[in-house]
A and B are shown apart, each in its own frame.
Chain A
Amino acid sequence: MTTANSQKRKKILFVDDDQAFLETIEQLFAMWGNNSWDIFLAHNTGKALAILQQQPVDLVVIDMRMPVVDGMQLLRLLNRKYPHLAKAMLTGSADDATRADCLQNGAELYLEKPTSVQGMENVFSTLDELTNLRPQEGFRGVLRRVGLQEVLQLECLGRKSSVLEVTGAGRRGKIFIREGDIIHAQIGEIKGEPAFNRLMSIEGGDFALKPFNEPPEQTINSQWEMLIMEAARVKDEVPESLEDSAAETAAQESAAELAATPEAMARSRPASVPAGGPVKPAGKILMPSLLEPHTEEVLICSLKGDVLYEWQCPEAEGRIKLTDFLNKKAAELTASLPLGKLERVEAALSPGRMVIKFQGDTALLVRSDKGASEAAPLAKAA
């Protein structure tokens, strides 16, 4: 007999430092999900990233208030590393400003943390509905991680029909693909191949692959291979002033983001993106203000030596060796002295401070240019 289990199982990851809350969620949601939910639990950011590294999930539900890396920082991080991933935020005290901040940073939902079974059931229903909606809406991507060109090639090679909506650098447009042929493009009043070339010149932004609908007219008849090659040629000739102007427009629209150099952006790439990969910013580009103003460097690594995330960490290999050394030495010390488990190591630098937090199989390293130094000693700074 077929049951509800025949439908696709949903993989939901909950991130919360409150173990009791996680256990309650696991029990209740598994029951209400009628065995159609695979629930993953993470009590900190490192664990959440490790789970995401191992397997894709349909939805991540994040508690706003967590130590070390709070929910908002994790949301921003996930929004950059997994832009396609549905994200929902839970908070004990909702307010409009934080709600807006969460939604702006990629959260689909901003919900009050339930304190009753009835409240839990409401949250469950909302999350369940969210996971039902997403497959019908296409997917979202970020051009700096997946090239627009690659998406087009996949659609055309697969002889698919779709509409690619592209937004970036203050521009928005559409490319219509019918059975593998690019038949129309439009950006503002510009149509046809000039519009296609303009859209393909956008270096950073968002796209959404939508179900195909007939365009108002067919303005392109060339083969897609030729179109992509021509767009690449034209792109090289786009005046830098145009890129700067567009970026400035986008910068004005996004007060929460800051202008950064291409070098900084390249350094800020997620660990999974190779240095020579699709990250290819030109002119001014935008980088989310992920961390506190004085943060200089962030590294999240597994204790096996894998980089899970790095931000402005040019010496990642050295940092991992250092982290590994400190962790191993701590284990030696705890073997002979009643110290308990290592929580973190704090180091005073000249100037600044470095903190390496150990949790489970992962370590989080943060270096800031303010904090402890000779003038502001370590114990007081902590």
Chain B
Amino acid sequence: MNSEFNSWLKENTAFPGVLACGLRYPDKTTFSHSYAAEFATDKLEPAWRTAVEAFQTSKQSKQSFSRLRWVFDKALFHCAVRGDGVCLGIFTSKGTQEPSAESVDRLFAEFQAFRA
């Protein structure tokens, strides 16, 4: 399943404004793909781990998140986790290069619906 999921992600994130994306599976394995030189894949793994931890922490604080968006002044970090524990993270540009909200929302909707 992982390889199909990885392929799906790579195919569906090739739209303007995406800097990098990745998946983290319940067995802690990860997949990272970068579209920008500054977002080297070897630096991305901690981000996917952070995303998973954020959802775990939200549960501990009695407020379960279904999706998170971190807004930095230069980029955005979107993440979501599925019921089976697979976590998706995606970095996008901010400002004029920012992808449309519809395309990001569609990606996350497909992520939730994806079945290998």
Contact = CB atoms under 8 A, between A and B. Distances in A.
Given A332-B50, A347-B69, 15 more contacts: A315-B62, A329-B50, A330-B72, A332-B46, A333-B77, A334-B72, A337-B38, A337-B43, A337-B75, A344-B71, A347-B63, A367-B63, A378-B105, A379-B69, A380-B101
A27 interface: no
Given A325-B54, A333-B50, A377-B109, A347 B102 contact: no
A150 interface: no
A322 interface: yes
Contacts of A330: 70, 72
Interface in A334-370: 334, 336-350, 354, 367
A333 B71 CA distance: 12
A349 B64 contact: yes
A325 to B, nearest CB: 5
Contact of A341 (B57, B58, B72): B72
A319 interface: yes
A382 interface: yes
Contacts of B63: 315, 318-319, 322, 347, 349, 354, 367
Interface of B: 38-39, 43-44, 46-47, 50, 53-54, 57-58, 60-75, 77-78, 91, 101-102, 104-105, 108-109
Contacts of B77: 333, 339
B68 A346 contact: yes
A345 B68 contact: yes
Contacts of A333: 46-47, 50, 70, 77
A3 B38 CA distance: 61
Interface string A319-333: 101100110011011
Contacts of A346: 68-69, 71
A343 B94 CA distance: 12
Interface in A251-290: none
A337 B54 CA distance: 18
Interface of A: 315, 318-319, 321-322, 325-326, 329-330, 332-334, 336-350, 354, 367, 372-374, 377-380, 382
Contacts of A338: 38-39, 74-75
Contacts of B62: 315, 318
Nearest to B60: A318
A326 B73 CA distance: 16
25 contacts: A315-B63, A322-B58, A329-B53, A330-B70, A334-B72, A337-B43, A337-B44, A338-B39, A339-B72, A339-B73, A339-B75, A341-B73, A342-B70, A345-B70, A348-B66, A349-B63, A349-B64, A354-B63, A354-B65, A374-B66, A377-B67, A378-B78, A379-B102, A379-B104, A382-B101
Contacts of B101: 377, 379-380, 382
Given A340-B75, A342-B71, A343-B71, A322 B61 contact: yes
A186 B77 CA distance: 64
A378 B112 CA distance: 14
Nearest to B75: A339
B67 A372 contact: yes
A337 B38 CA distance: 7
A255 B54 CA distance: 42
A319 B47 contact: no
Nearest to B39: A337
Contact of B73 (A329, A343, A345, A382): A343
A258 to B, nearest CB: 25
B74 A339 contact: yes
